[in-house]
Amino acid sequence: MTEKLYYKDSSLLEFEAKIIGSGNNDNLFYTVLDKTAFYPTSGGQLYDTGFINQIEIIDVIENRSGEIRHISNKPIGKDGDIVKGTVNKMRRLRHKQQHTAQHILSQIFIKLFNYESVSVHLGEEYGAIELDTDNITTSQLQEAEQYANEIIYDNLPIEILFVDDEQVSSLPLRKIPERKGKIRIIKIDDFDYSACGGTHCSSTAEVSLIKIIGFEKRKSRILVKFLSGIQAVEDYNNRFAVTDELSHTLTCNVNDLLEKFNKLQSGNKSLKKDLADLQKEWLSLMARQISGESDTINNICYVFRDFSINNDTNIVDTRLANQLANIVAEKINGVAVIFCQEKIIIATSRNSSLDASQIAKHFSGLTSLKGGGNKNMAQLGGASKADLKNYKELLLKYLKNA
Ligand SMILES: [Zn+2]
């Protein structure tokens, strides 16, 4: 069994130890020491990283027998070797801040609202506590957050106590531990006592900051998400970069961003409405104009219109061209074919016996165009302007025999 140096001192980052076991599994090597300051993933807290004799430790695992394995890509040494271990300071600090923040928040939710923490999540992105309540308000969260930060400003000392199970009952613990024997207690002054095996700060000031970032409903419970210390600062940097860029682009103060955004959004809405109105008007005018250009073959009224040769192209997207073809086909009670954005759009009027999908089939059988549709509307892709004359001839040939 490995002696857990982090148990007695969470700020110990450098240590010497003796190798008492090693091995490998494929390309990964593990080393067991007689003592270690590396925290293995356990109790909801993530593992430490760092170096042992300049070899990077990428994971730390504790097995059931209490053996702690330091995982690396290279072997570290042989049994009996004395090695030097260095724990990654910032990663450890992150975990200490998050874990301590969790203790502070768990105690606060009991003190303020009598909400017990039933589970804890300490992740790379955020920390979370699951509270034994099915409802929480924004003002409750704000109150808890403010209280948590006051505990930080108070710079309360944090100690590690080792007590036996008889003494445990005399301490005001949030939860009575199930374990027997020596129990490790994290004592935050007289504010909180909690049985825990993780790494924690040595004073509440070291947590630096606690920010509640939201909550989620989980059946009959509430999951409160929070950031602390380094994590909170990183989040602040990300948010600052976004709001700073936005306030430069929109030339306004950060505090006015929301108002500016709302204005832009409502402006956008009214522009969309104006555009829709204009398109409607344009469609009606254009339909009238194109219908006037219609011709007749075999008693069938038709229009073949190229929308790529004039400025019309700038405002005609396929959706509009489809609508236009439909309106024209109805107006002339025949067939309207429109070339637009490398597409051939075919529309037939509802009263006509012509089937747009059959015309499309005729086209795709004789050209490289591909597509299809229904009786009144069909579309073919891959059309080229150079072949327009050919397409028109194909249409006329079809109509002549229709
Ligand atoms: Zn803890």
| Residue 289 confidence (pLDDT) | 92
Instruction: Count up the domains in the chain and report the number.
Output: 3
Nearest 5°: the CA angle 205, 207, 208 is: 70
Last residue of a domain, one of 87, 122, 140: 87
Does residue 255 form part of some domain? no
pTM as predicted: 0.76
Nearest Cα to Cα of residue 186 among 155, 166, 158, 167? 158
Residue 101 Cα to ligand 1 midpoint, Å, equals: 9
Residue 128 Cα to ligand 1 midpoint, Å, equals: 13
Residue 179 Cα to ligand 1 midpoint, Å, equals: 15
> Distance between CA atoms of 13 and 5, rounded to whole angstroms?
10
User: Based on the domain organization, do 38 and 136 belong to the same domain?
Assistant: no
| Residue 332 confidence (pLDDT) | 95
Residue 118 Cα to ligand 1 midpoint, Å, equals: 14
Residue 235 Cα to ligand 1 midpoint, Å, equals: 23
Does residue 110 form part of some domain? yes
User: Based on the domain organization, do 104 and 228 belong to the same domain?
Assistant: yes
Nearest Cα to Cα of residue 185 among 103, 83, 75? 103
DSSP letter (8 states) at residue 255: G
Residue 184 Cα to ligand 1 midpoint, Å, equals: 10
User: Based on the domain organization, do 133 and 223 belong to the same domain?
Assistant: yes
Residue 95 Cα to ligand 1 midpoint, Å, equals: 10
204 contact partners, CB below 8 Å, separation of at least 6: 100, 104, 151, 152, 154, 155, 156, 158, 188, 189
How would you write the pLDDT of the chain (402 residues) with one tens digit per residue?
889 999 999 999 999 999 999 999 889 999 999 999 999 998 888 999 999 999 999 999 998 888 999 999 999 999 999 999 999 999 999 999 999 999 999 999 999 999 999 999 999 899 999 999 999 999 999 999 999 999 999 999 999 999 987 888 888 888 888 777 889 999 999 999 999 999 999 999 999 999 999 999 998 999 999 999 999 999 999 999 999 999 999 999 999 999 999 999 999 999 999 998 998 998 999 999 999 999 999 999 999 998 875 545 455 678 888 999 999 999 999 999 999 888 999 999 999 999 999 999 999 988 999 999 999 999 999 998 889 899 999 999 999 988
Domain extent for 188: 93-237
Residue 198 Cα to ligand 1 midpoint, Å, equals: 5
| Residue 125 confidence (pLDDT) | 92
DSSP letter (8 states) at residue 245: H
